[in-house]
């Protein structure tokens, strides 16, 4: 009976020792596992498209970075460190940012200097097709920008939000440009359109 008790106690002690060894091993290995889960990954290569450009202001879109707040915060910090750039306004919801810069510098050069960003040199087709941009004043452009930036936030949960975001700025630019044009210019445009209509042929 005594041997049975001693053997059982020895087995218990051995089991406790093995459990202690396992716990000690896990305690040593836990920090690497923990740091592995917190490891900061390098940003994935993303493509930026120029959607609007005027003297001293550049607006670009990065569709692949939509809703990525950390990505835009990091991009904003890097661009603000570039020479000649005075402000960078980011909008992760619209996947866009606006760069205000000195006329003596090219902000696209600063964007191309960011390793994880590929910049397309051509303007977005919707912006190129709108010929009224060049004739718009700074006040009109500011109004268009604010409206185009505000609408995607209002309709963020709507299924058509993404389409509305793409069309918002060109459409608003056209509407604001029409509203802000002088009356005489609108009258001459209507007269020109009426003059181009074919005259009815008498029977």
Query: Residue 192: its pLDDT value, please?
Result: 44
- State both tokens at 54: 């005027």
Nearest CA-CA partner of 61 in 85, 106, 91: 91
Q: How confident is the model at residue 128 (pLDDT cuts 50, 70, 90)?
A: very low
Residue with the bigger pLDDT between 118 and 7: it is 118
Judged by average pLDDT, the poorest of 130-134, 153-157, 164-168 is 130-134
Supply the angle between the helices 138-154 and 161-180 in degrees, to the nearest 10.
150
Backbone φ/ψ region at 173: left (φ over 0), alpha (ψ -120 to 50), beta: alpha
How many whole angstroms separate alpha carbon 173 and alpha carbon 167? 10
Overall average pLDDT of the 74-83 stretch:
94
| Res. 52: pLDDT tops 60 | yes
Q: How confident is the model at residue 197 (pLDDT cuts 50, 70, 90)?
A: very low
Judged by average pLDDT, the poorest of 67-71, 113-117, 157-161 is 157-161
How many whole angstroms separate alpha carbon 47 and alpha carbon 53? 17
Overall average pLDDT of the 141-158 stretch:
58
Domain residue ranges in the chain: 1-39, 42-121, 124-181
Overall average pLDDT of the 64-89 stretch:
94
- 42-121: CATH, from 3.60.15.10, 3.40.640.10, 3.40.50.720, 3.30.1360.10: 3.30.1360.10
Q: In what order do the strands lie in the sheet with 57-61?
A: 85-91, 96-101, 57-61, 46-54, 117-123
pTM of the model: 0.45
Average pLDDT, the chain: 69
How many whole angstroms separate alpha carbon 14 and alpha carbon 159? 63
Read off the pLDDT of residues 79-116 as tens digits, 9 standing for 90 and up. 999 999 999 999 999 999 999 999 999 999 999 999 99
């Amino acid at each position: 009976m005594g041997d049975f008790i001693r053997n059982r106690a020895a087995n218990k002690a051995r089991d406790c020792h093995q459990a202690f060894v396992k716990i000690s091993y896990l305690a040593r290995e836990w920090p690497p596992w923990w740091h592995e889960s917190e490891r900061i990954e390098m940003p994935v290569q993303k493509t930026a498209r120029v959607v609007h450009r005027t003297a001293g202001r550049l607006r670009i879109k990065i569709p692949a970075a939509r809703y990525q707040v950390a990505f835009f915060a990091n991009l904003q910090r890097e661009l603000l460190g570039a020479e000649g750039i005075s402000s960078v306004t980011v909008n992760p919801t619209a996947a866009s940012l606006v760069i205000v810069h000195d006329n003596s510098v090219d902000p696209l050069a600063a964007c191309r200097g960011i390793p994880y960003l590929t910049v397309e040199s051509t303007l977005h087709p919707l912006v190129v097709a709108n010929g009224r941009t060049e004739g718009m004043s700074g006040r009109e452009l500011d109004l268009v920008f604010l409206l185009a930036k505000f609408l995607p936030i209002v309709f963020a949960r709507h299924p058509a939000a993404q389409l509305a975001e793409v069309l918002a700025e060109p459409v608003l630019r056209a509407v604001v440009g029409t509203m802000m044009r002088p009356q005489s210019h609108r009258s001459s445009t209507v007269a020109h359109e009426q003059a181009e209509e074919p005259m009815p042929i008498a029977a």
